[in-house]
A and B are shown apart, each in its own frame.
Chain A
Amino acid sequence: MQENIPSKQLHYRKGGPSLNKPGRLLSRALNKVLQNPYVLIAPAVILASLFSVYPILFAVKVSFMNWDVVTGEQSFAGLDNYRSIFADPDAIQVLKNTLIYAFFTVCFGLVFAVAIGILLQKSTFLTNLVQSVIFTPHIVSFVSVTIMWMWLLDPQMGIVNYLLKMLGFEPQLWMMGPKTSLLSIVIVSIWKGIGFSAMLVIAGLQGIPKYIYEAAKLDRSGRWSTLFRITIPLLSPTLFFMLITSTIGAFSSFDVVNLMTGGGPQGSSNLIVHWIYQIGFLKFQLGKAMAASVLFLILIGFISLMNFMFFSKKVHY
Chain B
Amino acid sequence: MKLTIRLLRYLLMIVLTLIFIFPFFWMISTSLKTYIESIQFPPAMLPKSLQFSNYAEAWERVRFFHFGMNSIIVTVLTMIGQLFVCVPAAYAFARKKFALSGFFFALVLVDLMLPAQVTFVPIYVLLSDFGWIDTYQGLIVPFTFSSFTIFFMTQAFKQINSELLDAARLDKATELKIMVRIMLPIAKPYIITVMLFTAIGKWNDYFWTLILTNSESVRTLPIAVKGLLDVGDGVNQWNISMAGNVLLMAPVLVLYLIANRFIKNAFVYGGIK
Contacts and interface: CB of A to CB of B under 8 A. Distances in A.
Interface stretch (B49-57, B93-101, B158-166): B93-101
Interface stretch (A8-16, A89-97, A247-255): A247-255
B249 A141 contact: yes
A48 B108 contact: yes
Contacts of A50: 126, 142
A139 interface: yes
Q: Is the interface of B mostly helix, strand, loop or mixed?
A: helix
Contact of B267 (A148, A196, A300): A196
A155 to B, nearest CB: 12
Given A148-B245, A252-B117, A143 B123 contact: no
Contact of A162 (B41, B92, B238, B241): B41
Q: Size class of B's contact patch?
A: 35 or more
Interface in B57-97: 84-86, 88-89, 91-93, 96
Contacts of B167: none
A58 B125 contact: yes
A40 interface: yes
Interface stretch (A30-38, A101-109, A178-186, A211-219): A30-38
Interface string B102-137: 001001101101111111111111100000000000
Given A44-B145, A55-B119, A141 B222 contact: yes
Interface stretch (A78-86, A127-135, A224-232, A309-317): A127-135
A286 B128 CA distance: 13
B200 A41 contact: no
A34 to B, nearest CB: 4
A136 B24 contact: yes
Contacts of B190: none
A142 B204 contact: yes
Interface string A131-165: 11111111111111001111110100101001000
Contacts of B245: 143-144, 147-148
B89 A40 contact: yes
A97 to B, nearest CB: 16
B193 interface: no
A31 B175 contact: yes
Interface in B235-273: 238, 241-242, 245, 248-249, 252-253, 256, 260, 263-264, 267-268, 271-272
Contact of A252 (B17, B20, B118, B271): B118
B4 interface: no
Interface in A15-60: 27, 30-31, 34-35, 37-38, 40-41, 43-45, 47-56, 58-59
A173 interface: no
A139 B200 contact: yes
A114 to B, nearest CB: 14
Q: Could you say which of A48, A135, A297 has the most chain B C-beta atoms within 10 Å of its C-beta?
A: A48
A317 to B, nearest CB: 14
Nearest to B113: A304
B144 A51 contact: no
A234 interface: no
A53 B123 CA distance: 10
A259 interface: yes
A76 interface: no
Contacts of B16: 116, 119, 130, 133-134
A58 to B, nearest CB: 4
Given A37-B98, A119-B12, A51 B116 contact: yes
Contacts of A236: none
Nearest to B84: A43
Contacts of B142: 47, 50-51
Interface in A269-290: 273, 276-277, 280-281, 286, 289-290
A191 B69 CA distance: 30
Contacts of A273: 117, 120
Contacts of B156: none
B176 A27 contact: yes
A35 to B, nearest CB: 5
Interface of A: 27, 30-31, 34-35, 37-38, 40-41, 43-45, 47-56, 58-59, 62, 116, 119-120, 126-127, 129-144, 147-152, 154, 157, 159, 162, 191, 195-196, 199-200, 202-204, 238, 241, 245, 248-249, 252, 254-255, 258-259, 273, 276-277, 280-281, 286, 289-290, 293, 296-297, 300, 304
Given A130-B17, A141-B204, 20 more contacts: A34-B179, A40-B88, A41-B93, A41-B104, A43-B84, A44-B89, A51-B126, A116-B16, A142-B222, A148-B24, A149-B23, A152-B26, A157-B41, A191-B19, A196-B271, A248-B115, A249-B115, A252-B117, A254-B117, A258-B207
